[in-house]
């Protein structure tokens, strides 16, 4: 034990220097070459900077709504609801969200509502919604903004992020990008 103790302490210090120092700095140095320089991916629109990977809350009628969030899109304290699937509180919240959707999208039928739009995400910062979730909001937004449904549908198609290589994973839409382009579309 004694004969191991000092080598152990010294080895730990060497590892500390190597991993916390050299490894971390090396990754940091590489990050300076990466898009966003290691500060997260951002995009600029009309002089404002947005984190494209971080979802934002969209509650107003004129925007495509993003998913419900358990932390109200607090990017400094992310988290999920941690509701069990059969928790009555959870189920009544979902019920309320469905009713809310039906209320604001009167032409919507229940069976069209995708599950992602009535459930909270794991991080509470989900930047995406499913294509279906965007499509069911077209009717509402077209009416409020006075845009043609066709244009909105085109917008959705052009904003649809395909599965990786078209083969792997989900199709989805970044709500922030969609809404930024929606604003652009509206302006023109």
Partner 1 sequence: MNTEILGVILMYATVVALAIPLGRYIGKVFNYEKTWLDKIFNPLDKLFFKLSGINPGNEMTWKQHLVTLLTINGFWFIISVFVLTNMSWLPLNPDNNPSMSWDLAFNTSVSFVSNTNLQHYSGETSLSYLGQLILMLWQFISAATGIAICAVVFNAMKERTTEKLGNFFSYFVRSCTRILFPIAFIGAVILVFNGTPMTFDGKDSIITLEGAQQNISRGPAAAFISIKQLGTNGGGYYGPNSTNPMENPNYLTNIVETVFIFLIPISLVFALGFILKRRKLAIMIYGVMTAGFLCLVIPTIYFEMNGNPAIAEMGISQNMGSMEGKEVRFGSAASAYWAINTTNTSNGSVNAMHDSLTPLSGMFTMLGMMINSFYGGVGVGFINFYVFIILAVFIGGLMVGRTPEFLGKKVEAKEVKIAMMIALLHPLMILGGTALASFLYAGNPEAYAGWLNNPGYHGFGEFLYEFCSASANNGSGFEGLGDNTPFWNISTGLIMLFGRYLPIIGPVAIAGMLASKKYIPESAGTLKTETSTFGILVFAVIAIVAALAFFPALTLGPLAEYFSFCVAN
Q: Does 186 bind partner 1 (CB under 8 A)?
A: no
From the CB of 148, what's the least distance to partner 1, in Å?
22
Q: Does 95 bind partner 1 (CB under 8 A)?
A: yes
Number of other residues whose CB lies within 10 A of the CB of residue 49: 8
Give the helix/strand (H/E) hosting 174: strand 172-174
Matching residue, tokens 């244009």: 151
From the CB of 142, what's the least distance to partner 1, in Å?
19
Which residues 111-140 are close enough to bind partner 1 by CB under 8 A? 111-116, 118-130, 132
Task: At 144, list the tokens.
Answer: 């409020």
Nearer CB in complex with partner 1: 91/144: 91
Nearer CB in complex with partner 1: 9/157: 9
Nearer CB in complex with partner 1: 98/142: 98
Which residues 32-61 are close enough to bind partner 1 by CB under 8 A? 34-41, 48-60
The residues, any chain, with a CB within 8 Å of residue 169's CB and separated by 6 or more, are: 163
Q: Are 55 and 128 in contact (CB under 8 A)?
A: yes
| Alpha carbon 184 to chain centroid, angstroms | 21
């Amino acid at each position: 034990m004694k004969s191991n103790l000092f080598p152990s302490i010294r080895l730990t210090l060497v590892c500390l220097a190597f991993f916390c120092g050299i490894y971390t700095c090396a990754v940091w140095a590489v990050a300076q070459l990466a898009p966003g320089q290691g500060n997260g991916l951002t995009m600029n629109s009309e002089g404002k900077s947005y984190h494209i990977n971080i979802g934002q809350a969209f509650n107003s009628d004129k925007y495509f709504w993003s998913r419900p969030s358990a932390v109200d899109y607090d990017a400094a304290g992310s988290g999920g609801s941690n509701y069990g699937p059969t928790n009555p509180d959870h189920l009544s919240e979902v019920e309320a969200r469905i009713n809310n959707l039906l209320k604001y999208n009167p032409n919507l039928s229940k069976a069209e509502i995708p599950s992602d739009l009535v459930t909270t995400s794991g991080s509470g910062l989900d930047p995406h919604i499913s294509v279906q979730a965007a499509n069911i909001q077209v009717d509402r937004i077209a009416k409020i903004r006075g845009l043609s449904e066709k244009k909105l549908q085109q917008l959705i198609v052009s904003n649809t992020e395909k599965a990786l290589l078209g083969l792997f994973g989900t199709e989805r839409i970044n709500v922030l990008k969609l809404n930024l382009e929606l604003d652009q579309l509206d302006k023109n």
